[in-house]
Amino acid sequence: MNKPTTVCALCNNPPEIPCPTCQDTQPLYCSSDCLTRDHPIHKLVCASFATLPAKPSGGEGGGAKHVLGVLFPSSSPDPELVWVRIGGFTDEESGISFQEAEVGDFLQVDSNHKGVPAPESLHSERNRLRNRDTRSMLEIWHVKSDKLAENLCVKTLAATTTATSEEEEEEEKEGKPFYNWRGSILIIFMTRSTGFMIDPGLYRDCQLQDFRDAVDFVVDYGNDVHDRRVQEALDTLGTTTTTTNTGTGSQPEVLQEKEKEKEETAAGQVEQQQQEEELLSKDNIIIAEMSG
């Protein structure tokens, strides 16, 4: 389950071909069709991936290093690859070493922004838009404040990714992000969680597929279609199955025992209950039909 996914950046088929322009030789797309469709987004960082920005020397701070992250600038339309300094500290009680990303400088919070709160982070291991686990764990840093300007970069990306044809793209169709991001956003990448409560996490450089996952995250964040879909699925499961899909067989046994108990002690009552439930659900259907 924690296997890093290596799939076509767009459609989850096995990747066969790399981008012909950037130096990354890892296959990124299943077909030239997906390569073409991803081009409007990939071209924004293709050249940067080919010639990475100069890496700052990490020497000064005793073991500090830098990892490649993606910055979605507040006031520029294009995302950028940036080097983020990773410091570290050791928890004295547990002796576990943690890495700490130094993100403040990227998020444009300075003395001009009095009363702006500290940066906060979200984490994601799922690309809901493409229905797949992400290759890395995404750590999304942003500042939540109405005092900051709307993020122009995400707005531009949303307009680009929702355009379904070249013509729409040329018309600069106004696709809108679902969430009103403000200020700049910085996304860095970690090895996926191992499931332990205390997980030191390891930052690593952004790769091509990470970039697509990052763009999908900022554009799709706040889209409640996914939540509704999950709720619908749960509703369906809740009404039709109670004992399936356990795999181990232990749970059905317990349930069977309970059922048996019911049958023995109050068979009539159970039957009555079932009839009532049936009536109730019929009522619900009628109500739903009337209001719909």
Binding residues vs Zn ion (CB under 5 A): 8, 10-11, 13, 19, 21-22, 30, 34, 46
User: Between 7 and 219, whose beta carbon lies closer to Zn ion?
Assistant: 7
Would you state the structure tokens that stand for residue 17, as one six-digit string? 């071909």
**Residue whose CB is less far from Zn ion, 17 or 202:** 17
* Residue 12 or 223 having the CB closest to Zn ion: 12
Q: How far is the CB of 45 from Zn ion (least distance, A)?
A: 8
Q: How far is CA 43 from CA 46, 172, 215, in A?
A: 5, 17, 13
Q: How far is the CB of 219 from Zn ion (least distance, A)?
A: 18
Residue with smaller CB distance to Zn ion, 22 or 158: 22
Whole-number minimum distance, CB 248 to Zn ion, in Å?
37
Nearer to Zn ion, 37 or 113 (CB): 37
Calpha distance 21→19 (Å, rounded): 6
> Alpha-carbon distance 236 to 24, whole Å?
44
Beta carbon of residue 275, minimum distance to Zn ion (angstroms, whole number): 52
Radius of gyration (C-alpha) of the chain in whole angstroms: 25
Strands 80-90 and 65-72: antiparallel
Contact by Cβ (8 Å): 239, 163: no
> Which distant-in-sequence residues (6+ apart) come within 8 Å of 193 by Cβ?
2, 125, 137, 199, 201
Q: What's the min distance (Å) between Cβ of 133 and Zn ion?
A: 16
